[in-house]
């Protein structure tokens, strides 16, 4: 296999619970994925990243694992997995597994043992501390609310959980833990999987000394992310993982690295670092944070978005590898967030696709993004299923921090469940996802927005994604070229060039629903338009961009 094959690959993320239900119990499953592989082949992606399919009590939809070498009952059996892997490989599709090893479920046998006593073989597998004057060891806040410490009477100690109470953090400083994890990874590699997406991998090495953190005004605890990310042994452990497992297989690896900076990313994903191939950074996703953290109801300014994305483009160039994404299972739908899901849904979805897919890095498409699926539009808290959203709602509304209407608006804008409504396959009942009762409500707009309709319309968002994937395979400049931002101060237009030897690309995106004047820069007179979301005859001089118009010009010499 070609070295660095993942550099011009395109990844498609499947959230199995919401993808396709094969047995009508209302929950997506592995057989459902197998049924839809031809659809993904048609789209043209190379790798499928599967959100966790391992055995799990599902407090966080599979991100709480109780057995790493077994399949979640809801999703099927290991035989179903093997069949899916085999069928994917037959079609030239690769499978990237979600690797959740910062924490396990509290129902994992390691934790059950660990919680029993201070002197059993597993007692040091998790992070245990004595209380401080009858209280939690530190003031750290769990990412899903409340203290990050939970008391356990059998040990008269607290365990650390950066996420939910049911997600205790593993103790990576224990070499036995690292060996267990590496062996488990090796077992999956032997099975023939093709990569790992590593959940909050930036949190595995905890600080040497545990100290209270700064508590922001109006908060009870200190935000845990900045305290426990990029710890003292982080890169040592990843290099060890690389030596012991990753380097022995032709894998694609991506680290989900909460709180990562450009400087840190160069360590995780630097070309000579022998750690990971690339990382997910969050700066462009966190721009719309407000005084209640992610719970906010308005998008960032375009200049901020451009500044962040451009920084990652230019500063990693030649040194480390970017991943490119607008959407995943933790983020709202991009067309509702940075586009316009009402009057200009198709136009803005295509514009956003063009904007991202002409950048340097490996693009990730989240299920339904290729259809322009929108936020869920839930109006009652009872419609939500996500532990983060539900906990935050209670904490913020019942704590009197913000009013109910405001919080419901924030959830409609930012909740993770916006991405988790079932995939919209066709206009039959429940969008063709299930004939049973779906575990989370289907977005009622499925009658118009669905895969069948998209496949039947040559001008659909789906075919723009397909074309963009094709362009990446055809033009090396998209993978290799350097990036330059034009018009940095414009709040309306996102314009950038890519340069590779004698070749140049110009990407022009109107981020507004209004007509915008634009002067095509000199030098592109003899260029060709590779893709655009409106038809236009002339691409030179002064032009008027239509609402959410985007196009890409290419020239050689």
**In the complex, least distance from residue 552 CB atom to ligand TEU, rounded to whole angstroms:** 31
Contacted entry of Ca ion, ligand TEU, none for residue 423, CB cut-off 5 to 8 Å set by kind: none
Residue 205 has what DSSP assignment? S
Nearest residue to ligand TEU, by Cβ distance, number only: 63
Contacted entry of Ca ion, ligand TEU, none for residue 200, CB cut-off 5 to 8 Å set by kind: ligand TEU
Contacted entry of ligand TEU, Ca ion, none for residue 21, CB cut-off 5 to 8 Å set by kind: Ca ion
**In the complex, least distance from residue 203 CB atom to ligand TEU, rounded to whole angstroms:** 8
For residue 163, state whether it binds ligand TEU (rule: CB under 6 A): yes
Among 10, 15, 29, 257, binds Ca ion (CB under 5 A): 29
Number of neighbouring beta carbons within 10 Å of residue 336: 23
Among 23, 183, 437, 447, binds Ca ion (CB under 5 A): 23
Burial of 273 (0-12, 13-18, 19+ CB in 10 A): middle
For residue 288, state whether it binds ligand TEU (rule: CB under 6 A): no
Helices (H), 327-433: 334-337, 345-357, 387-393, 404-414
Query: Quick one: 108 or 416, whose CB is closer to ligand TEU?
Result: 416
- x/- site string to ligand TEU, residues 207 to 226, per CB under 6 A? --------------------
Q: Is 343 a known active-site residue?
A: no
Span interacting with Ca ion, options 29-37, 166-174, 445-453, 469-477, rule CB under 5 A = 29-37
Backbone dihedral angles phi then psi of residue 503, each to the nearest 5 degrees:
-95, 150
- 510 forms beta bridges with 493
Contacted entry of Ca ion, ligand TEU, none for residue 23, CB cut-off 5 to 8 Å set by kind: Ca ion
- Strands of 142-236, DSSP E: 149-152, 157-160, 195-198, 222-223
Span interacting with Ca ion, options 18-26, 122-130, 247-255, 360-368, rule CB under 5 A = 18-26
Q: Is 80 a known active-site residue?
A: no
Number of neighbouring beta carbons within 10 Å of residue 275: 22
Q: Given strand 157-160, what is the order of strands in its sheet?
A: 128-129, 157-160, 149-152
Which of these is catalytic: 141, 256, 388, 549? 256
For residue 40, state whether it binds ligand TEU (rule: CB under 6 A): no
For residue 330, state whether it binds ligand TEU (rule: CB under 6 A): yes
Nearest residue to Ca ion, by Cβ distance, number only: 29
| Interface positions, 116-155, toward ligand TEU (CB under 6 A) | 143
- Strand 195-198, strand 94-99: pairing: parallel
Contacted entry of Ca ion, ligand TEU, none for residue 393, CB cut-off 5 to 8 Å set by kind: none
**In the complex, least distance from residue 329 CB atom to ligand TEU, rounded to whole angstroms:** 6
Q: What is the largest CA-CA distance in the chain?
A: 76
Which of these is catalytic: 199, 234, 386, 388? 199
Burial of 542 (0-12, 13-18, 19+ CB in 10 A): exposed
- 495 forms beta bridges with 486, 508
**In the complex, least distance from residue 498 CB atom to ligand TEU, rounded to whole angstroms:** 29
Round to whole Å and give the CA distance between 256 and 235. 14
End-to-end CA, the chain: 32
Span interacting with Ca ion, options 4-12, 17-25, 164-172, 468-476, rule CB under 5 A = 17-25
Query: Which of 19, 13, 12 shows the shortest CA–CA distance to 431?
Result: 19
Q: Which residue has the tokens 């299972």?
A: 329
Query: Which of 468, 469, 423, 429 shows the shortest CA–CA distance to 449?
Result: 423
**In the complex, least distance from residue 515 CB atom to ligand TEU, rounded to whole angstroms:** 36
What angle, 0 to 180 degrees and rounded to 10, lies between the N-to-C axes of helices 345-357 and 461-474?
10
For residue 25, state whether it binds Ca ion (rule: CB under 5 A): yes
Q: Which residue has the tokens 């209380």?
A: 131
**In the complex, least distance from residue 414 CB atom to ligand TEU, rounded to whole angstroms:** 8
- Which residues of the shown chain bind ligand TEU in the complex (CB under 6 A)? 60, 63, 100, 143, 163, 199-200, 256, 258, 294, 329-330, 388, 416
Catalytic residues: 199, 256
């Amino acid at each position: 296999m070609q070295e660095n094959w993942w550099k011009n690959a395109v990844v498609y993320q499947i959230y199995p619970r919401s993808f396709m239900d094969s047995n009508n119990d209302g929950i997506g499953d592995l057989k459902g994925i197998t049924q839809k592989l031809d659809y993904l082949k048609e789209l043209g992606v190379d790798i499928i990243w599967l959100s966790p399919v391992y055995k799990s009590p599902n407090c966080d939809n599979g991100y709480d694992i109780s057995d790493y070498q077994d399949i979640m009952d809801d999703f099927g059996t290991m035989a179903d997995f093997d069949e899916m892997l085999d069928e994917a490989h037959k079609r030239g599709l690769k499978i990237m597994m979600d690797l959740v090893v910062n924490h396990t479920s509290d129902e994992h046998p390691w934790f059950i043992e660990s919680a029993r006593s201070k002197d059993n073989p597993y007692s040091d597998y998790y992070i245990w501390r004595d209380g401080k004057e009858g209280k939690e060891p530190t003031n750290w806040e769990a990412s899903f609310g409340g203290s990050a410490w939970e008391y356990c009477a059998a040990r008269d100690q607290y365990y650390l959980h950066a996420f939910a109470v049911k997600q205790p953090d593993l103790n990576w400083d224990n070499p036995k833990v690292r060996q267990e994890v590496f062996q488990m990874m090796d077992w999956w590699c032997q099975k023939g999987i093709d990569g790992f997406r590593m959940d909050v991998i930036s949190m595995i090495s905890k600080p040497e000394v545990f100290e209270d953190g700064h508590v922001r005004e109006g908060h009870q605890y200190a935000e845990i992310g900045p305290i426990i990310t990029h710890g003292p042994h982080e890169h040592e452990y990843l290099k060890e993982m690389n030596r012991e497992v990753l380097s022995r297989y032709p894998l694609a690896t991506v680290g989900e690295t909460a709180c990562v900076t450009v400087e840190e990313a160069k360590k995780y994903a630097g070309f000579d670092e022998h750690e990971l191939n690339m990382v997910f950074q969050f700066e462009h996703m966190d721009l719309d944070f407000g005084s209640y953290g992610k719970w906010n109801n308005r998008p960032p300014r375009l200049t901020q978005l451009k500044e962040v994305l451009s920084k990652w483009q230019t500063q990693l160039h030649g040194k480390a590898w970017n991943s490119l994404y607008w959407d995943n299972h933790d983020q709202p739908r991009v067309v509702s967030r940075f586009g316009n899901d009402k009057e200009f849904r198709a136009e803005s979805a295509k514009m956003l696709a063009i904007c991202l897919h002409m950048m340097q890095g490996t693009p990730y498409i989240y299920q339904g993004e290729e259809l322009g699926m929108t936020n869920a539009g839930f109006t009652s808290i009872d419609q939500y299923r996500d532990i983060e959203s539900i906990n935050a709602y209670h904490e913020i509304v019942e704590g009197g921090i913000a009013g109910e209407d405001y919080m419901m608006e924030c959830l409609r804008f930012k909740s993770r469940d916006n991405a988790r409504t079932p995939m919209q396959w066709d206009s039959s009942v429940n969008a063709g996802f299930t004939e049973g009762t779906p575990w989370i409500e289907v977005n009622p707009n499925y009658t118009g927005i669905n895969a069948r309709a998209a496949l039947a319309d040559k001008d659909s968002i789906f075919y723009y994604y397909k074309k963009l994937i094709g362009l990446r395979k055809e033009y090396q400049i998209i993978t290799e070229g350097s990036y330059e931002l034009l018009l940095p101060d414009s709040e309306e237009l996102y314009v950038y060039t890519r340069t590779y030897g004698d070749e140049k690309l110009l990407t022009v995106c109107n981020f507004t629903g209004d007509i915008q004047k634009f002067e095509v820069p000199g030098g592109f007179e003899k260029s060709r338009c590779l893709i655009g979301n409106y038809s236009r005859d002339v691409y030179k001089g002064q032009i008027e961009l239509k609402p959410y118009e985007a196009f890409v010009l290419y020239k050689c010499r």
